Structure 1
Amino acid sequence: MTTSSRNMTSVFMTEQDKEIDTNDFLDNCEEEEFFLLRTEIEKHRKTQPIALCSVCFQPVVLRANTHRTTFFAHVKDSEDCPVKTTTNLTQEEIRAMQYNGQKEGRLHRENKEKISQLLIQDPLFENNVSIEKTFREKHPVGIAKQWRRPDISAKLASDKRDVVFELQISTTFLDVIIHREEFYKQNDAYITWIFLSFDQKKFTTLDIAYANKANIFVFNQEALYESEKRNSLILKCYYRKPYMTENLDIGYSWTSEFVDFSILNFDEENKKIFYIDTGKLKNDVIKQIQNERIRIKSEKLEAERIAREALRLQEQNVYDEQKRFEKYQQSYPNFKTPTQYKEKNHRHKQLSTKVVSHKSYGEAVICKKCFIIGKPKKLGRLFVCAKCGHECN
């Protein structure tokens, strides 16, 4: 067997939580390293495998052919795998196999143990918490043919609801997610997907979130700290919160809160668990935007009405003032408006440099301020109303 003819081109190393290229690894592996690893793989193969096929995630071993070409291989009598040339698996079976195999990583194992221990301490759950216990269909016709093996199975103490937890570490095919959710829905179990971190750019995260009212549950270091402090399972729930923007549109932001199962809600129809109904929040924001638009429109109409009324009053005042002037002119033939009075005074000053006393000014004027008709009073160079002192100009 040559290097290029190795069927298994990649292997998942569970302790490092990473996938390695078998050609690069084996071509650069020293003899001592090869045999020590070969022994470690065989030692843990049946209990806690450290090397898995990256396609089917079954345990693999290290072998060599007669030409001493090293390679990874499936063990004898292992289940079918696409890497094998004689495979008869369907695409759905292959993806389900890959999903189950991802559970063998170190992070997955460690956090699965932590969550199960917290559930045992949590008074909201019964003590019979199981790890990777086979969950068979509840209402089969004849022998139960369908089954799943969730990471953790538990039962609520209050109403005996079955709750299964699936710890999501890496990317998962959407059809695997859908089939798994559909299975638990048909068998009256509520599924809770748990992530170790929140990445709103990952499609797997968003696939699961948007199918659950835009809620996603995270078990990170903060959640672990809160859980250990309260001796119960505390998760950090991220949800997509809608809000009204300055432009009166809907904006969204991801926010988070620590939650336990006493404040979570159960979607009876889809058999899922959520914290915030973001659809209801969106409807509330839509109503808020509509009310704000109505308020702004009302204020605009009121401002326009006030402006029109002010203009009408201004025009009415001008009209009324003009009518009063006309009335005074009719009553007093010698009546002069302040402007006419000013023009006459100006012509008088041009004709004579002699100071004119108020006694020689025998024509009455109307004060523009108090509308009193009378002779103006001379004050220095100015002529002012004898009543209010307003300048006659």
Structure 2
Amino acid sequence: MSLTESGPTGYNITVDPASPAVPVDSPEIAEIIDLVTGEVRDAKDLIGSFRYDQLIAERVRMRENLKQEKPTHICALCGTPVYIVASLHKRFFFRHIHEDGSCRAQTRDGLTEEQIRARKYHGLRESEAHKRIKRLIERSLRADTAFFPETIQSEARWTDQHDSGAWRQPDVQARSAGRTYAFEAQLSTTFLDVVVSRRLFYREQGAMLVWVLGSFSPDYRRMTTDDLLFSNNSNVFVVDEETAAISEERHCFHLRCHFRRPFRLDDSIGECWDEAIVSIHDLLEDLKNQRLFHFDYDGEIRRLNEQSHQALREELISFWLAAMNPHFDGTPENVERWRQIRAQYSVIGIGLPENPSGDSSFRAMMHAVLSATYGRPVGWQFNQLIQVAHQLAQLHTEHLLAFGYALEKSGHKSLLESQDARGKWGRKRREFRPLIQARDARYMPDMKWLPALSFVFPEVGASVKGFLERLPATAE
């Protein structure tokens, strides 16, 4: 965190987006219930499990769900829906959506959010700064030949197309042949509730909401700016005299986009801030999530993570093929190599056994899936793949499901069948298949190692998870 002066009597905490989110020391709501998973979660632990930028995006999603009466978390004491708020120092805690005194966890002071908002908003929407941003937006739009001039309006009422009693009044609105836009000049006092309400309204209208700032500094960001930034794929827009002049020169609405750009940094991922002046028509749209962006931060993070994850997968598989035959070849080099692999997996939250041979179920899982993948016995000193199948059916039935999916993914199912000359495997399979379908506990995957299976063998893991999520087949 960094403490940035904002004036003679005030200050603002600006947080590194990649740093861990920090809960308040003693939250009133200590535990919450996740309505999706049914888990009771420690509030501080849940908040601390997120990066700062991820928690900001999560709190926006949480408020949107509340607006649609689909809460995802409730207070463990009273069952009231809750959402995430930030303190002055950008430390986080959960707050009841309604507080009537019935719960001993009290998270509000004497003023309601509406009262605070009214005090802060008084006169600001007519401030010169706000008017200046609106003029720049409108000036840029009128320079763009793609926007219909008669649709460019300032402070005009926008009535809900499904409910004539519901309306909004965006700062500026305009329509082109492909999209209708609502532009809002961001104020330093814009509540998250305001942001969420507008996002939901314009999404229902099939329109794109664009929040526009008068200026932006990565090193000085208020909470209200972070709400917009991190819910918009880490992109934020500014209009100024330069962008307006470019819009007029090129007859195309241009904005200044500030965004975060991740990059590979040795064995980790670093990030830097970047900016570009871009045409609104070249921006990428995600109407469902009300996101309009120049640089796909989330996509680039996924790509970089996948590169890193693929290297980790290949490292573990390479180790297994070389050092496990069938038990761990514990040379000093192999011991150190396994220690490093285990440490790297721990960083991404994947547990591995302290010793590769220390858990027979994990060892059998790796042997089974690799054997099915390569079409030959791996680990076990067998001659044929069919022997691996019999070994699993006799001693490790919990991995038959993963073995079967791995055979399908690799195309080696027919190879296994060709080795079943006497039909013994076929008979066994006909016996245990209905038991698997009936969720017999003996044939269910070892849940302890399911995260490792899903990471090292993503397609196999996804199929196993999909099977577990389906309801048991009903007898006819």
Identify the TM-score tier after normalising by the shorter chain: 0.3 to 0.5
> Which has more helix, going by share of residues?
2
TM-score by length of 2: 0.40
Larger-gyration structure (1/2) = 1
